[in-house]
Amino acid sequence: MFGIGKKSGCSGIDTVIGPQTRLEGDIHFSGGLHVDGTIKGNIIAEAGSDAVLTVSDDGRIEGDVRVPNLVLNGAVQGDVHVSDRVELASHARVTGDVYYHMIEMAMGAEVNGNLLHQVGPQRAAKPEPAPKPEVLDSAGMSVAK
C-alpha cells in the first residue's frame, strides 16, 4: 500500500500496545506506535512530527485520533484526523468522521461517518492577491491608474 513507516522519517515502531493490554487515558507520542490492544482515550501525535500510528486487526481505539500518518486494520470509535496519509486496510472499521489529506481504502474497509478531504497546512494553496479596486471617473468610466 503506501509503505508508511518505510519511507517516512519514522525509523519504525517505538512503542507497542500488546493484545492483552487495555489503556485508559490520552496518549501523546512521536515516532511509531503500534496498537494490538485497546485504548480508551485520545491518541495525539506530537505536532510537527512524522509519526505513524498502526492499529492491527485486533486493535481498538475508543477516542479521537490526531496523527500525520495512520495504517488502520482495527477499529476506531471516534473522529480520525490525519494530516498526511491514511491507509484503511480490509478489516478497518471507523465509527466517526475521517479527515484526511491522502487516503487509500481497501475493499472491506468500513467508515460509518463522513470522509472529509483536507488540504494539509504544508500543501495549502497560496491565496491570490486581491484585485485592485477599479477607479471610475464622474461619467462612470474606468480610469487606469
Q: For residue range 81-127, what is the model confidence (pLDDT) as tens digits?
A: 999 999 999 999 999 999 999 999 999 999 999 999 998 554 444 45
Cα–Cα distance, 39 to 58 (Å, whole number): 12
Q: Pick the closest to residue 54 from 6, 13, 18 (CA basis).
A: 13
Find the angle CA(94)-CA(95)-CA(101) to the nearest 5 degrees. Answer: 50
What is the predicted pLDDT for the residue at 145? 54
Q: Could you give the 3-state DSSP secondary structure of residue 2?
A: coil
pTM for this structure?
A: 0.76
Residues 46-75 have a mean pLDDT of: 97
